[in-house]
Amino acid sequence: MSNDFRARNHPAWWAFLVHRLSGLALSVFLPFHFWALGQALQGEARLDGLLRWTEQPLVKFAEIVLVLLLAAHLTGGLRLLALEFLPWREWQKSLLALAAGAALAAGLAFALAL
């Protein structure tokens, strides 16, 4: 097994990848979010039409994925801040699992609230 493969099979590498990809996905979503908010400025009928469209099952699923991405990016960022600014402790190895668990819990809580 090559060293490159072992490095990419480490949990910290996967945390790095999830953090970067979630950030990219959120940056792609942001212009659509601003467009949707702008519909309120176009009048009540346009906003009502958009809100009706959001009741579709695929859009609801996309909302769950969005919350999961937000939670993954937030918890990954908090993990990185802890690694950067706190003195190193042995328990910090567990931050990766804690961040992943918190992100999944937030996504599940949102999905169950729908």
Can you list the domains of the chain with their CATH numbers?
Answer: 3-113 (1.20.1300.10)
Give the model's pLDDT for residue 73: 95
Predicted TM-score of the model (pTM): 0.75
Give the model's pLDDT for residue 6: 67
End-to-end CA distance of the chain: give it in Å, rounded.
Answer: 45
76-104 in b/e burial notation, b at 16+ Cβ within 10 A?
A: beebeeeeeeeeeeeeeeebbeebbebbe
Contact between residue 26 and residue 70 where contact means Cβ atoms under 8 Å apart: yes
Per-residue tens of pLDDT for the chain, all 114 residues: 566 666 677 788 888 899 999 999 999 999 999 998 888 888 888 889 988 999 999 999 999 999 999 999 999 998 888 888 888 777 777 888 888 899 999 999 998 887
Give the model's pLDDT for residue 100: 87
Give the model's pLDDT for residue 19: 93
Give the model's pLDDT for residue 1: 53
